[in-house]
Structure 1
Amino acid sequence: MPDLFMDLLIRELNSILSEMKSAEGRLNGLEGVIDGLWISINPSGSFRNAVAVDGGLQEVKLANGHLLSMARAIAVNNMGMEPIRVVKVALFPESSPGGILTMSTLEVKAALEAINRYGGLRYVLMDGSLFVKLLEALRVLLLGRSIGEVYAIPEAVEFLNITSSLLTEVSRRGVRLIFVSKDTNLRVYKEYAILRELAKSSVSQVSELASEGLNYYSVTWSRRLRLRFFNLMRRLSGTREASLMGLLLNQSVSDITLLASSTRRVGISHGMVKPMVLSGGLSPWLSELSDDELVRMVKRKLNDSLTLRGVEPSLDPSVLFNLPQVALTYVSASMDDSPMLVEVPIRGEGFLKRPRFRELNDTSVLTEVAGLMLGDYVDPVRYNGLLTLAHVYANFTVGQLGEYIAMLQDRLGLRFSRRLGLAVL
C-alpha cells in the first residue's frame, strides 16, 4: 500500500530541524562557557572482566484496552560465560509506566545475577541513565496521581528495592557500576552553562534569579522558577539576556545538541566534560520534608496501591534515604559522533536531598571510566562492544513482535486491538 503521508512528514521534519538549528545559532556568546567544559583525555585500556546489561520492551494493546507488556533483559560478558536472560510479561492499564519500570527492574536483576554467578568481575556496564531511572521510579511512587501511575507503584518499589541491593552488592565486592547513555535528552549542562552566564548580568533581577537557579538541578522542572524566567524574558525582549533565557526554556535543545557542536568548534576528538553531581529533581518541596513526613507520605501512597490493585509492596525507609547521588560526565570519542552520557553512583547526602547540580570534588573515577570508554570505542554503532551486543540481543525486532502476537493469539486466544491487527497485516 502506498504511503500517502511521506511528503507531509518530510515537510514537518524539515520544520523541526530548522527550529533546532535556529536555537543552536542563538548562543549569544555562550560558546566560550560550553567549550570551556571540555577536558582532553586519552584512551586508556579497555573493560576487562566486564558485563554489559540492556533491556527490551514491547507493549501491545488488547481488545479490552489493557496493555500486554513484554519486558526482557540480558547480561553478556567478555569472560566466555553464558549470558543471563530474564523475562517478565504483565498487564497494565493504558498509559501506565509499569512496563518501563519492569524492564528497568529486569536489567538490575540480570546485573545482580551476573555479579553472584561470575567470579572476578570488575565492571558492570548498564545501558541507560541511573538518574533518569531513579527519577521515574520516585516520581511514580511519590507524585503519581493517574490510575496508570498508581497502578505501577509496586513496580516502582520493586525497582528501588532491587537497585538498593545492587548498589550494596557492587560496593561489597568492589565492582565498578557504570551507566552509559548513547542517546539522552538531559539538559543539565545546558542549564548550568546558561545560568552561569546569566549570573554575570548587570541586570540585578536576572543575576539574582540565575544565582538562585544554580542551586537546582533544573529550573524548568520548577514551575515557580520557570514562570519567573518566562516573565522576565518577555520584559527584556530583544536583549541578550532574553535570548539566553529563551534558550534555557527551549526543550528541544539538550546537552548533546550543544556539546556535539562544541566538540567541532574546539576540535577535540577525545575528551570529557567537567564531571558534576546530580541529586533530587522531583520537586524542591520534597527535599524540605523531614524523614518522618516522607515516611508517612510513602505509607499513604502504598495504601493507594493496596486500594486500587490489592497489592501493598514493602519498602524500608532506609532504601529511600540511602539512594545515591549521581556523578556524571559526557565523553566524546569522535567529532563525527555525539558525546555519550556516563554516570556512576556515589554515596553522599542522598538522592532526595535538595535538587542540585554541583561540581564533583573527586573526578578520578569518572576520568578512569572515560578513558576506558575511549579505549573500547570503534564507531557510532559499536561505541562499546559489550553494550552493543547486549542491545542487539535485548531489542525487540518487528519480526519477533509479529511472531509473539501470532503465538499469543493461537495458544492463548488473546484478542488484540483492531489497529494492532491492521498494523501486523
Structure 2
Amino acid sequence: MQITVFLTSRKVQVDTFIKETKYYKKLKKEIIQYSLLSYFSVHDIMYSHKIFKNFYSNIDKLGSSFLVNKFKNEFKNKPAIILGAGPSLGYSFEILQRLQNKALLIAGGSAITCLSKMHILPHLGIIIDPNFEEYERMKKSLAFEIPMIFSTRVNLGVFNTFNGERGYVKNAIGGLFEAWLDRHLKIPRRYLCLDYSEKALTVTSVGIILAKVLGCNPIILDGMDLGFSQEKRYSVDIIEDNKLDEEKLKNSKMYLVKDKNNKDIYTGLSWEIERDWISNFAENHKKITFLNATKEGLKINHVEDMSLLEIEQKFLKKQFDYKSYLFYLSQKNKIFPDQKNDFSFTKQALRKSFERTRNYLQDIIDKETEYKVILAQERFLKEIAYKYFLVEYHIVLKDFVLKKQMSESDSFIKLKETSNIFLNECI
C-alpha cells in the first residue's frame, strides 16, 4: 500500500495493491454513497433559501390538514401497495384497477400522475419534493380529490393541482425548519423518519415507513424499477423526454448493470442507494412480509419477487373500504380541530427574528465598538432565525474560513446577505 499526502490541498491519496475483498468493496460502496448524500446535504444548505420559500408559504396549509402520524396501527395487518412510477408499473395497470378495496394504495410524486392517467386513483398520495419539477409533474395529474400527504418543504405550487384533503407528515425531512415549526405550534407525535438514516429521504422510503407505522402487512412494492427498464424513466410519458437516448447518457452519470432478469439496465447511484435502503429496511423488519411485484428493474434483496396476480390470489382476499375509512380518519385527526386557521402571528414572529438577526450581523460587520460587536454576537446566536434557519449555512461558511478560502469578516457579510434573502421571502 502506498499513501501520498498533499499538504497544500489537504488531500490524501491511497493506492492499494491488496486484493479487493468483499469487505473492501462494501466499504468503497458505502464511502461513495455517503459522499453523494453529503453533497446533496450541503447543496440543500447552500440553497436553503429556496426551500424556505416553500416552507414559509406552506405554513398556511397546516390549518385544515390532518396529522397522518396519528394514524398509527389504524390499518393493522392490512396489505399496502407502495407504487413507484417506473416502467414496470405498466404491467400492473389492469390488476390495480380492481384492487381499490383489496389493499391500501400509496403513491408518491410522479406515480400519482402516471396512475391517474390510467384512471387509477391511489388512496394516499405523498408529495415532498421541493423542486419545480414536482409541480410540473403534479400539474398533469388527474387525481384531484385524493388525500395528499405533504412535507412543508414541498414545492408551493403543488397545492394548486388538487382539491382533496391535505395531510401533514412529521417526518424529519424538513430538518431544523420543520423542527422549529412543530415545536412552535406544539404539533404532537414522533417524527416518522427519526430512527432512519439520511438515505430515507425519498418519497418511496417515506411511503414504506408510513405503511409500517400504519401497521400494514404485507407491504408490496410495484413500479420500483430503480433504473431505465425498457429504456424509459416512467411507465407513462408524463415528461417530454421519457425515453433514454445517447445524448442523455453522455450528460448523465448512468451506468450499466444487470437487472433481476439478467438483462442490461442503466441505473445511477441514487437508485442504488434507494435499493439498498429498502433491502436493509426489509431485513430489519422481519415480522413484516415484503413483496416486490415489479416485473423488471434492480433486484432488491430481502424482498421476495412475486407477480401482482399471484400476490392478489395469495394475500389480497379480503374486501375493505379504504377510501371511506381514510376520510373518517382525516376528519378525526385534524392538527388544529378547535383553532382558527390563522398563522399570521407565527409568520410575523419569524419575520421579526430575521430582521433582528440582520441588524445584529450588520453591527458585527461595522465593528463600531468592541462592546457592540460582542453584544451582537451574543444576541444573534439566540435568535430563532439563526438557531433554526441560518445555523447550518453558517457552519458551511465556517468550514470555508478554516480552509482559508474566506475571511471571518467575509463570512459574516455572506451570512447577512443570505439572511436578507430569507427575509425577502417573508412576504
TM bracket (short chain): under 0.3
TM (normalized to structure 2)? Answer: 0.26
TM-score of the superposition, structure 1-length normalised?
0.26
Which is bigger in relative contact order (C-alpha 8 A, separation at least 6)? Answer: 1
Structure with the bigger percentage of strand: 1
